[in-house]
């Protein structure tokens, strides 16, 4: 099984600032996903990050707001830019589970509060 | 427009009884359906999945039933245990399975009463 860590685990930020969230996996994976869970809502896919190529963003999410880096096969960052209170969410990264291709492993999440 | 819906925000069940969590979907193109369990301050953990070509899948105390004509699936937990108290998410994916992004419902908070 893959072990995924995220930093920070939580943060409180002022509006207008940016926060970069790190996701580290203990094995090499081609694909990584970033999700957001707003309060009382479902997990929503933000983007898919493949190493060596630009991230692919879902409808409603743009690179200027959520730039993603994928410098190698075990690491990715998601930046939440120019934050507003509406960005207060749990942000999670995930990777496909190689032994059972139908599912994904998730990190513990980063709980972001924007004041 | 939500493609995966869990209409019960919470469910309370007595220990030892059956817990039944329900999920409806609208997209006929989904190929896989999954259930995840989530404790506070942790990421979701995978419980069980079912392919769209099947109507039932069992794994220990957990059974998932799929009714394609009704676009409905359910998770049965028998017998329910205190450690089952958590938020349960229904999710769906296309043919790529875990290589696709997952579409989630809003979750059902299951509370197992002693």
B71-91 per-position pLDDT tens digit: 999 999 999 999 999 999 999
* Residue A53 DSSP label: S
Q: What is chain A's percent helix, strand, coil content, to nearest 5?
A: 5, 50, 45
Question: How far is C-alpha B114 from the chain's CA centre?
Answer: 23
> Do residues A31 and A93 lie in contact, with contact meaning Cβ atoms separated by under 8 Å?
no
pLDDT > 80? residue A110: yes
Question: Is any Cβ of chain A less than 8 angstroms from the Cβ of B105?
Answer: yes
CA distance A84 to A65: 11
- Cβ contact B41–A92 (<8 Å): no
- Cβ contact B32–A41 (<8 Å): no
**Which residues touch B100 (CB under 8 Å, ≥6 apart)?**
B93, B94
Among candidate residues B24, B44, B43, B27, the one with its CA nearest the CA of residue B35: B44
In the stretch 1-40 of chain B, residues with CB closer than 8 A to chain A read 2, 4, 32, 34, 36
Please give the pLDDT value at position A101.
66
Could you report the per-residue pLDDT of A60-86, keeping only the tens digit for each?
A: 999 999 999 999 999 999 999 999 999
- Quote the tokens at residue B53: 């070509």
Dihedral over alpha carbons A96, A4, A67, B100 (to 10 degrees): 10
The helix (run of H) or strand (run of E) holding residue A66 is none
Provide the pLDDT confidence category of residue A53 given band limits of 50, 70 and 90: confident
Could you report the per-residue pLDDT of B19-35, keeping only the tens digit for each?
A: 999 999 999 999 999 99
Please give the pLDDT value at position A98.
72
Could you report the per-residue pLDDT of A29-47, keeping only the tens digit for each?
A: 989 999 999 998 999 999 9
- Partners of A45 on chain B (C-beta within 8 Å) are 101-103
**DSSP secondary structure string for all residues of A78-90:** EEE-S--GGG-EE
The size of chain B, in residues, is: 114
Q: CB contacts < 8 Å between A and B, how many?
A: 68
**DSSP secondary structure string for all residues of B84-109:** G-EEEEEEEE-TTGGGSPPEE---EE
Nearest residue of chain A to residue B51 (CA atoms):
A102
Judged by phi (left if over 0) then psi (alpha if -120 to 50, else beta), residue B112 lies in beta
Is the four-CA dihedral B31, B35, B38, B44 of positive or negative sign? negative
- Partners of A100 on chain B (C-beta within 8 Å) are 46, 49, 98
pLDDT > 90? residue B94: no
Tell me the C-alpha to C-alpha distance, in Å, between residue A38 and each of A42, A69, A71, B103: 7, 22, 27, 14
Among candidate residues B10, B6, B22, the one with its CA nearest the CA of residue B110: B10
- Site from A5, A61, A96, A104 to mutate, B interface, most B CB atoms within 10 angstroms: A104
CA distance A30 to A96: 9
């Amino acid at each position: 099984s893959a072990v995924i860590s995220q930093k920070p685990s939580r943060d409180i930020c002022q509006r207008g600032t940016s926060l970069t969230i790190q996701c580290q996996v203990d094995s090499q994976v081609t694909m990584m996903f970033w999700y957001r869970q707003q309060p009382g809502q479902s997990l929503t896919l933000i983007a898919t990050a493949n190493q060596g190529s630009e991230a692919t963003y879902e409808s409603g999410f743009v690179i200027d707001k959520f730039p993603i880096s994928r410098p190698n096969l075990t690491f990715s960052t998601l930046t939440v830019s120019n934050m507003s209170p509406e960005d207060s969410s749990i942000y999670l990264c995930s990777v496909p589970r190689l032994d059972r291709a139908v599912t994904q492993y998730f990190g513990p999440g980063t709980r972001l509060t924007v004041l | 427009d939500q493609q995966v819906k869990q209409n019960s925000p919470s469910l309370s069940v007595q220990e030892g009884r059956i817990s039944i969590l329900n999920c409806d979907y609208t997209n006929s193109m989904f190929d896989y359906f999954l259930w995840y369990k989530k404790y506070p301050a942790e990421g979701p953990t995978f419980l069980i999945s079912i392919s769209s070509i099947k109507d039932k899948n069992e794994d220990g105390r957990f059974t998932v039933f799929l009714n394609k004509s009704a676009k409905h699936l359910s998770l049965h937990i028998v017998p329910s245990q205190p450690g089952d108290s958590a938020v349960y998410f229904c999710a769906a994916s296309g043919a790529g399975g875990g290589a696709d992004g997952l579409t989630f419902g809003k979750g059902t908070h299951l509370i197992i009463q002693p």
